[in-house]
Amino acid sequence: MWDTFLMAIALMLVLEGILPFTFPNAWRDTFRKLVELDDGQIRFIGLTSMVIGLIVLYFVN
């Protein structure tokens, strides 16, 4: 169980590191725009991301 969880965290870190590594200027501009969003908009993005992740997990399993 823990090994699967740690592998998922490691994969998340690898995937999240691809954009700043390959396109640092685009990542910086995107992050700057994200900081300017309201709390509700950021929460909606987080909720949408979690729902998409759950849907992908459902279809993979």
- What pLDDT is stored for residue 2 in this prediction? 87
Res 39: pLDDT: 94
pTM of the model: 0.70
Q: Which residue has the tokens 């509700």?
A: 40
* CA angle (45, 36, 50) in 5-degree steps: 10
pLDDT tens by residue, 5-58? 999 999 999 999 999 999 999 999 998 998 999 999 999 999 999 999 999 989
Residue 15, CA atoms < 13 Å, CB-side half-sphere:
6
* pLDDT of 61 strictly over 90: no
Cα–Cα distance for residue pair 19/25, rounded to 1 Å? 10
Split at pLDDT 50, 70, 90, the class of 1 is confident
What gap in Å lies between CA 61 and CA 59, rounded to an integer? 5
Domain that holds residue 21: 2-60
Tell me how far apart the alpha carbons of residues 53 and 6 are, in angstroms, rounded to a whole number: 17
Q: What is the pLDDT of residue 29?
A: 94
Total structural domains in the chain?
1
